[in-house]
Amino acid sequence: MFFANGDRAVTYQQNEVIDAAVLERLNNAFNKTEHVYLNEMITTEHTLTFMYEPVTIMEAHNTIEPCDIVVEEARNFLIEKGFLK
């Protein structure tokens, strides 16, 4: 499940613990992948939080609600890396 987590973050959360090896693989992939709006990924046992700059997205897309755009980019990253289907 994705949800807005403050003004500059969206978080993917699941009930199951995310395996430490998977977290490491995702962190490495995040750092090696170019992102349009995602600046940082912070992980815990159950969550992946993606940080972004809302004003950049608001200006680029003429919107006052950038969260959906960030969720889509984060979801696509996780699908591409085989974490989500």
User: Model confidence over 1-52: pLDDT tens digits?
Assistant: 999 998 999 999 999 999 999 999 999 999 999 999 999 999 999 999 999 9
**Global pTM value:** 0.94
At residue 83, the pLDDT reads 97
Beta strands in 1-85 (DSSP E): 2-4, 9-13, 38-43, 47-52
Q: Which residues, at least 6 apart from 42, have a Cβ–Cβ distance to it below 8 Å?
A: 48, 49, 51
SS3 36: coil
Residues 55-78: what's their mean pLDDT? 96
Do the beta carbons of residue 78 and residue 84 sit within 8 Å? Answer: yes
